[in-house]
Structure 1
Amino acid sequence: MNMTKMAKANEIKREWVVLDAEGKTFGRLMTQVATLLRGKHRPDYTPHVDCGDFVVIVNASKVVFSGLKLEAKEYFTHSGYFGSTKSQTLQELLEKNPEKLFRLAARGMLPKTKLGRAMLKKLKVYAGAEHPHTAQVTK
């Protein structure tokens, strides 16, 4: 009887995928990114092994949002001290630090474990069109 083959961490060949965010809807792009980081697009996907690819996102500052999210959606941070809650709108976060915005969205879509943190390290986000990973990208 044939058994399902489970991928091992040392057998996985990772690809480098470059995604251009210019003009794309943020949520739809991020679901694609989460799928690539997790490795669910691969035939040898194994849930307990990090078998995802490296993802490079360029033109992160030119992503598109639907509706009134730019003004209405807020992101909160808290240091742990009383009265230290700070909030930023989506538009402020997109202008100041689009890399953080993409990282927060991807983190919410990945597992909340050591494996999820390892997957998140394979995400590289750049606000402009240039990135330093041209040597790794073969396609």
Structure 2
Amino acid sequence: MAACKRVQQWNTFGRVWHLYDATWQNPFQSAQKIVKYLKGLHKPIYHPLNDCGDHVVVINSKDIALPGDEWRQRVYFHHTGYPGGATWTLAWQLHDKDPTMILKKAIYTAMDGNLQRRYTMQRLHIYPDDNIPEKIKQNITNQIRPLRPVPKRLDHYAPEEVEQFPKVMDWPKDYILR
């Protein structure tokens, strides 16, 4: 095999490290997108019996956004394996305990039917904020585009920008707020 072809084959089967920012993203829709990279579905060489998935680094998992009333209504089940070891935890309580767990459980569930998902999950690295260890930062070569754009918060605008924003109406000078 020629040296050029050998390098091409190494690049084809090499694992790439992807970065995904979960700020204001729905974890269940994000999970569907992340699973494609973990399994290697985005690669032309994908085959169900071939383990060609990549590593995915997820940052800002503490800033996820559940749709609707999911923070109060979604319940997560856990069983220790002992009698009376069943617990049901609300989503907001689980997120307070471990900000990475909701996204991790969503990705694990999205890989339903994958017999290798326990090993595939080892290539997933989730961090609650944007502090990533240097060894992992050096490996990242690609970024996964977020599902929806993150809007700019009002407290991040400069006072000049707020003043220049068009107003619908001006309050009268003698108006009293109650």
Same fold, judged at TM 0.5 (above): yes
Match of 1:3 in 2: none
1:138 aligns with 2:141: yes
Residues 138 and 81 of structure 1: CA distance in aligned 2, closer, same or farther (over 3 Å) = closer
TM-superposition CA deviations, 1:16-62 (whole Å, max 9, x none): 10000001121111111111101111111111111111000000010
Q: Which runs of 5+ in 2 are unaligned?
A: 1-8, 143-178
CA distance in 2, matches of 1:134, 1:80: 37
CA distance in 2, matches of 1:24, 1:80: 33
Q: CA deviation at 1:106?
A: 1.4
Aligned-pair Cα RMSD in Å: 2.0
Match of 2:81 in 1: 80
Report if the CA contact (8 A) 1:50-1:118 is conserved.
no
Query: For residue 131 of structure 2, what is the amino acid of its counterpart?
Result: E
Match of 2:57 in 1: 56
Please give the residue correspondences for 1:4-83 in structure 2 after superposition, counting only pairs within 5 Å: 12-83=13-84
Q: Which of these two proteins has the greater Rg computed from alpha carbons? A: 2
Percent same amino acid at aligned positions? 26
Q: CA deviation at 1:109?
A: 1.8
TM-superposition CA deviations, 1:63-82 (whole Å, max 9, x none): 11101110011111112222
CA distance in 1, matches of 2:105, 2:57: 15
CA distance in 2, matches of 1:98, 1:50: 29
Calculate the TM-score normalised by the size of structure 1.
0.85
Of 83-92 and 50-59, more deviation after overlay is shown by 83-92
Match of 1:100 in 2: 101
Of 86-95 and 119-128, more deviation after overlay is shown by 86-95
| Secondary structure in structure 1 of the residue aligned to 2:100 | helix
CA distance in 2, matches of 1:12, 1:135: 19
Number of equivalent positions: 131
Q: CA deviation at 1:95?
A: 1.8
Calculate the TM-score normalised by the size of structure 2.
0.68
Q: CA deviation at 1:101?
A: 2.0
Structure 1 residue runs of 4 or more that deviate by more than 4 Å after TM superposition: none
